[in-house]
Chains A and B, each alone.
Chain A
Amino acid sequence: MRVLGIETSCDETAVAIYDSGEGLLAHRLFSQVAVHAEYGGVVPELASRDHVRKLLPLVKEVMAAAHTTREHIQGIAYTAGPGLIGALLVGACVGRSLAYAWGIPAVGVHHMEGHLLAPLLEPNPPQFPFVALLVSGGHTQLVRVDALGQYQLLGESLDDAAGEAFDKAAKMLDLDYPGGPQVARLAQLGDRQRFVFPRPMTDRPGLDFSFSGLKTFTLNTVAAHAGANGLPDDQTCADIAAAFEEAVVDTLVIKCRRALEFCAMKTLVIAGGVSANQRLREKLQTALQKIGAGVFYARPEFCTDNGAMIAYAGCQRLLAQQHQGLNVEVKPRWPLDSLPPLTHYTRDS
């Protein structure tokens, strides 16, 4: 089955074509980073406007790149939530009506299921069951995944998501939005021992997270070393970035190991924007090796929002005959564990 996937839940317009027999055929993305940079965060109205402008040209481009004409497309998948309602509506309305015009089925995909399944697009995909860490701009969740479509929430952030914490730390260090990659880059120049930041909620049992205290700690450290321009010197900024990254990474590693032990599983999948973080990948690798477990992740471009993950997840749901009616529905909030199970599953060949 060949599926066109559309992602417009936040600030990236992304489209891809996935074929259950042939694999991923093409994917393209328009990033709105430049649109939102001057606001220091995503402005929902501007995001929605830009999706309208970019979506159809991107669909055309992807179809051409995949050497696919409309006759070859057998289903359309679009992100139906969670996300910004106005942004979701653009992709959902275009996707649903396009499927109607082409006389093919459509399905609304859960954005986090998309992230979670993205590592399955890689050449050496993880086998079920596994524990998934979803770490992105809006989510930090540990999920038990017994099979495709069977998700059980083990723990989550009680306040800020890890990606959000990265973005806020970046702002404190006067780095551009989105801050995660910038903090990570700066951290490479820093001394990881000079400051020691807390590892929130690691000293008590449980699989929940909290990152807002870390934010305050970062702010206080920046203030304590600030010079006349309100910022510490360059080396101190790098040292703070390194301390911050170490604290987030260690916290995630501790909870991931705990979740694997709790579920008695040996496979961890990390997904979402923060799973692109090199330090997190390295430290997880080392920590999990010690307990005979392995970690799987997607290529960096499929860690952040992309169309490929939506085409892939949508294809699995369409193969299981899960179709959306003509009524377009989007869900700004949508718990992952409320998804219907998937009975059918074909492995990417």
Chain B
Amino acid sequence: MTTILAIDASTETCSVAIMLPNGMHEAVCAEPRTHAGRILPMLDALLAEAGVSLHQIDAIAYGAGPGSFTGLRIALSLAQGLAFGLEKPLIPVESLHAMAYAFAQDPKHTQDSVVCLLDARMDEFYLASFQVVDALPQMLQPAQLCGYALFPQQLDITIDASVAGLGGGWAQVDPELRAMLGYCDTQAVPLASAIAQLGLKFFDSGVRPAAEQAEPLYLRNSVSWNKRQRLRQPTP
């Protein structure tokens, strides 16, 4: 009887979910740049709706990335404060994995594989691909950066009607290529409900990281900031 709290802010949509043994409660906010202000109030309302207290939560899962750096840190920092304060494990769930999971769980979907594509700015995508086996996504290509110009060459699978494309990155892909997909959802984003479900699986398999061990999955680690910055903003 495990209760999982999940938080995601890896894209312009943020979400919070509480997964109880008997059901899922989720709140989603699609307004960009307001995540820090929204997540705890959303959580507070969800707890009231679900009729549980913070102390009944067994573990906290967070959308670890890849995604917006600031968003990843907002979700992680909020989750860290909660996990540290409640003395509960803090479980990372990859954002593209959560997208593929939500897709694979839906019985209406029949495609054998999923290619998740989010815009990573700077002419690159975040890419990952999965094979769907028994309604679960199994990783084919782990989350990675892929230059616009290297897509779809960098992809290990061939795009055809057996492939589903998920994520806003697909909106930037050549429409002819997109038309070859068996399914395409350019609006798909990682959601806390999927993160909670995957978090529970990890929790059940014994994954119990401490809050202070958590780190986002940035993927981009040096290239973008060798430019010198101002020491501080000028006096307002």
Residues of A bordering B, CB below 8 Å: 10, 39-46, 48-49, 52-53, 55-57, 59-60, 70, 82-86, 89-102, 137-141, 156-157, 159-161, 164, 167, 325-330, 332-335
Contact = CB atoms under 8 A, between A and B. Distances in A.
A94 B80 contact: yes
Nearest to A38: B226
Contacts of B236: 82, 333-335
Interface residues of B, number: 40
A156 B81 contact: no
B213 to A, nearest CB: 9
B207 to A, nearest CB: 19
B216 interface: yes
Contacts of A335: 236
B215 A53 contact: yes
B153 interface: no
B229 interface: yes
Contacts, number: 149
A251 B44 CA distance: 52
B228 interface: yes
B40 A137 contact: no
Contact of A97 (B78, B226, B228, B234): B78
Contacts of A52: 73, 76-77, 80, 215-216
A332 B54 contact: no
Residue from A52, A164, A325, A334 whose CB has the most chain B CB atoms within 10 Å: A52
B166 to A, nearest CB: 27
Contacts of A94: 77-78, 80-81, 84
A16 B197 CA distance: 37
Nearest to A179: B231
B232 A89 contact: no
Nearest to B76: A52
Interface in B30-61: 36-41, 43-44, 54
Contacts of A92: 36, 77
24 contacts: A39-B225, A40-B228, A46-B225, A49-B73, A55-B77, A55-B80, A84-B233, A89-B74, A90-B73, A94-B77, A96-B40, A97-B85, A98-B82, A98-B84, A98-B85, A99-B85, A100-B40, A100-B54, A138-B233, A140-B235, A156-B235, A326-B40, A328-B37, A334-B236
